Amino acid sequence: MEIEAAVFRKVLEPLSIERVEIDAPSEREVLVRTVATGVCHSDLHFVDGLGRFPLDRPYVLGHEGAGVVEAVGSAVTSVKAGDHVVACLSGFCGNCEECLSGHPNLCTGGIVTRPESAKPRLSQKGEPFRQFIGISSYAEKMLLHENSLVRIDPEIPLDRAALVGCGVLTGVGAALRSSGLKPGETVAVFGCGGVGLSIVQGARIGGARAIIGVDKFESKREMALRLGATHFVNSSEEEPVKAVRALTGGKGVDHAFEAIGDAKVCRQAIESLAIRGTATIVGVLPPDATIEFPWMAIRPECRVHDARMGGNRFRTDIPLYLDFYRQGRLDLDAMVTKRGRLSDINEAFRAMKAGEVARTVLTFE
């Protein structure tokens, strides 16, 4: 079947809207009609040539998708046609050591894509395309393994639900699952984009005493404060480590989160910690990045760790976070700062680079 998709062919070049062939679902695969997709930083990273995947074939990018199931393979048991679903790049096999020890976000089973030797899920006139992390949501339809999907309440608007598939899951989960945040502790969030603002919200839901948003764009101040930050530091005007220390009576914060993927900012997060504080690196750094800091900058018994996809068990976490949304505790409406159609994808990347948006959501109907 032919669908419309945004195709990536070359680093630093705009995506082009093209007709692409999508295969029928095999045994455990699900064909989903895409209703909405968030535009996440990882896609832009990839376009900018900072991805970790081979560039040997054209890609259909996008991984923050939500939609309605159209068809399922013969062995699919978790969803059926008509179900509303959210895709997640933490597709899990259910059999590997990580899955079985309760960390399916770190699955090593490699089930999300078809094997190289199999017919590709996406192609064009016989030329095989690569699917992005088993999802490819910048397209009218997605073909995925059933373990890359979760069924959600059909009453929840899919354009809001899509965000929980990556950015919100990563941010809220970093605060509630990965960091070990306890009620009453203090938090600084370095980087107030889609993920950083989700960390702010997660810290608020988790009962943080103070939440300091840090960003180099003044335009992020209002949004950070609206979503739960108690303070905001403009790091292009103030030295952020000093500012965070000043706001905490010199102590530093119990939890610092890095949500940009910048080695210098990681250092700032580490240097902002209080005694026994924890720095959680959420941003994706370039593969060769080195985080350097003087030993004396480390307060006693601090910890630095990285968090992957909010430590999620997305089959239960996505419905949980959507419950928070329904109850008014997680604000997804404010996170959608811009809307568009698939053809607006390149403009969405530009707006993200310029720090103009928390999230752009593209819709298909």
Residues 6 or more apart in contact with residue 214 via CB below 8 angstroms: 188, 189, 190, 191, 192, 232, 233, 235, 240, 243, 244, 268
The answer to whether 268 and 240 are in contact (CB under 8 A) is yes
In degrees, rounded to 5, the angle at the alpha carbon of residue 177 between the alpha carbons of residues 193 and 156 is 65
Q: Does 162 bind Zn ion (CB under 5 A)?
A: no
Pick out residues in 109-148 that bind Zn ion (CB under 5 A): 109
Residue (99 or 241) nearer to Zn ion, CB: 99
Tell me the two tokens of residue 275. Answer: 């005694």
- DSSP for 201-234 reads HHHHHTT-SEEEEEES-TTHHHHHHHTT-SEEEE
Span from 87-95, 232-240, 322-330, 333-341 in contact with Zn ion (CB under 5 A): 87-95
Q: Which of 1, 16, 23 is nearest to 58 (CA)?
A: 16
CB 114: neighbour CB atoms within 10 A?
17
> How many chain residues touch Zn ion (CB under 5 A)?
9
SS3 139: strand
Shortest distance (Å) from residue 226 CB to Zn ion = 22
If the CB atoms of residues 45 and 216 are measured against Zn ion, the closer one turns out to be: 45
Distance in angstroms (rounded) separating the CA atoms of residues 40 and 357: 11
Output 51 or 277, the one with its CB closest to Zn ion: 51
In terms of CB distance, is 79 or 96 closer to Zn ion?
A: 96
Minimum CB distance to Zn ion smaller for 309 or for 322: 309
Under the binding rule (CB under 5 A), the answer on residue 107 touching Zn ion is yes
Q: Which of 93, 225, 297, 320 binds Zn ion (CB under 5 A)?
A: 93
85 belongs to the binding site for Zn ion (CB under 5 A): no
Among the residue ranges 161-169, 183-191, 245-253, 268-276, the one whose residues contact Zn ion (CB under 5 A)? 161-169
Q: Any contact of residue 195 with Zn ion (CB under 5 A)? A: no
- Output 159 or 271, the one with its CB closest to Zn ion: 159
16 to 45, contacts with Zn ion by CB under 5 A? 40, 42
Compare residues 92 and 349 and give the one whose CB is closer to Zn ion. 92
Distances (CA, A) of 140 to 121, 125, 129, 226, 278: 14, 18, 16, 34, 42
Give min distance, CB of 38 to Zn ion, in A. 8
Distance CA 349, CA 337 (A): 13
Can you give the binding site for Zn ion, defined by CB under 5 A?
40, 42, 92-93, 96, 99, 107, 109, 166
